[in-house]
Amino acid sequence: MKNVKVILVGNYSKDKQVSMNSFLNILALGLKKEQYEFEIWKPLICFGIYLNNTNKGIGKWFGYIDKYILTPIYFYLRVLSNKFTKANYVYHICDHSNAIYLTNFPNRQTLITCHDVIAIRGALGYRDAYCEASSFGKILQNQILKNLKKAQHIAMVSSNTKNQFFEIAPSKINQQGISVIHN
């Protein structure tokens, strides 16, 4: 066993994001193979529990309550409880769409994987993103970008993603802590 415990932060299960769940599971398998102790934390499902779809309509708004109101409190309390243990923790937010949770984790011990910046670019009006955003979507993508700019450790999945990120966040260009690590 290693002397570090890894917390993998996944996505809201009701959103059924297959590729992000696969990425999380691959990371978990790698950690298990390397004999790291780890846990998987996912956003709480409270308001969305009885809904078949949390990607549209009223279900989307109930999912937002779970993801953006209840879960930050839940993560904050879990991190707080970890502070009283003797283990060293590393927190890995596995999807940049959860960058909003960065404020709930200790910055120096937290990394986030950024898979792309398409939705952020779309919300900012980049036509080549081919990804329009609703009014609330623009607010959400703005918050994701704001939090990514504050992250100390970002793993970009491609040079193209890194370059596009620097285009929309030029203040991060000279900062260390941003690496390209292919999936």
Number of C-beta neighbours around residue 99 at 10 A: 23
pLDDT in tens, 98-111: 999 999 999 999 99
Compute the mean pLDDT over every residue in the chain, rounded to the nearest whole number. 91
pTM of the model: 0.92
User: Residue 115 in 3-state DSSP?
Assistant: coil
> What does the alpha-carbon distance between residue 52 and residue 80 come to, in Å, rounded to a whole number?
33
> What does the alpha-carbon distance between residue 40 and residue 10 come to, in Å, rounded to a whole number?
7
The predicted pLDDT at position 55 comes to 80
Mean pLDDT of 155-173: 90
Tokens representing residue 128 in the block: 């080549």
Task: Say which DSSP state 70 is in.
Answer: I
> What does the alpha-carbon distance between residue 37 and residue 74 come to, in Å, rounded to a whole number?
21
**H/E stretch holding 79:** helix 71-82
* pLDDT above 80 (res 183): no
pLDDT band at residue 59, thresholds of 50, 70 and 90? confident
pLDDT in tens, 32-52: 999 999 999 999 999 988 888
* pLDDT above 90 (res 86): no
- Residue with the larger pLDDT of the pair 84 and 94: 94
Residue 145 sits at the vertex; the CA angle it makes with 144 and 151, to the nearest 5 degrees, is 90
